Amino acid sequence: MDRISNLSDDLLLKIVSSLPTKDVVATMILSKRWRFLWTMLPKLDFDYGSERDPSQYRKYIKYVDRSLVLNRAPVLETLKFKVGPCCSSEDLATWIRMGMVREVREIETFDTNCYHRSIELPKTLYTYEKLEVLKLAASMTLDVPSDVCFPSLKTLHLICVEHKTEESHRMLLSGCPVLEELVLDKTYNCDNSQSLYVEVPSLQRLSILDTYTEGDDPLYEIVISAPSLKYLNFVDLLW
């Protein structure tokens, strides 16, 4: 531990940033220097999946709130959430808004209970200018406003995500003028639409997974207009 403590703060932060935030917070007991190091983390990773004790959720809320309020990193690069059935849509939306106040660059959500409920994103996220990466793996219906604008978004992953209307999907993509990577996963058959339109001039990488069971309706029409495309992966599976 003495050798590690002799490292610079920048190097220590790079090492501990790969750990879940709760493990980094646990380092506070190591020394006075480590007591406040965790507040400088540029990446926050919160895990409260389905295997966690529901009775501890109130403590988890306080822990996430405190971590976001006390964070003093010059730039909050990444905000990750793995949530289970205890986590409410309102709590997740609040934490996303807190990250936006800190000018977070990357937001990731993974819902272990994604097939059984729907999560709503805060409306202000759709016009958030700093976001560069958005990865959503959760059952949610995107109600995209007409003024949607992600001027910095380069990576977008949508897994188990449904669009309120077909036009909603088109508006979302049209609001991403510099988008380079798009991943669409219909594995859980959450999106009942049977057509898919991808019209993004800047797009370089596109992955589409359409998995369905007998009796479900697969995608029957796919239109891709992406003159900058370098990589295409399309998987169509019948279970």
Q: Where are the alpha helices (DSSP H) in 71-221?
A: 89-101, 166-174
CB 184 within 8 A of CB 162: no
3-state helix, strand, coil in the chain (%, to 5): 30, 30, 40
Per-residue confidence band for 114, with pLDDT thresholds at 50, 70 and 90? low
Q: In what order do the strands lie in the sheet with 205-212?
A: 43-48, 78-83, 106-111, 133-142, 155-163, 181-185, 205-212, 231-238
Confidence band, pLDDT 50/70/90 cuts, at residue 207: very high
Answer yes or no: is pLDDT of 99 > 70. yes
* Structural contact between residues 113 and 85, judged by C-beta atoms closer than 8 angstroms: yes
The alpha-carbon radius of gyration of the chain (Å, integer) is: 20
Are 4 and 21 in contact by the 8 Å Cβ rule? The answer is no
Domain borders along the chain are 1-41, 42-238
The pLDDT, as a whole number, for residue 188 is 53
The architecture in CATH of the region 42-238 reads Alpha-Beta Horseshoe (3.80)
pLDDT band at 183 (very low <50, low <70, confident <90, very high): very high
More confident residue, 35 or 77: 77
Q: What is the mean pLDDT of residues 198-224?
A: 81
- Residue 129 pLDDT class (50, 70, 90 cuts): very high
Q: For residue 29, is pLDDT > 70?
A: no
**25 residue type, one letter:** V
User: What is the pTM (predicted TM-score) of this model?
Assistant: 0.84
Tell me the percentage of the chain whose pLDDT exceeds 70: 73
- The larger pLDDT score, comparing residue 224 to residue 17, is at 224
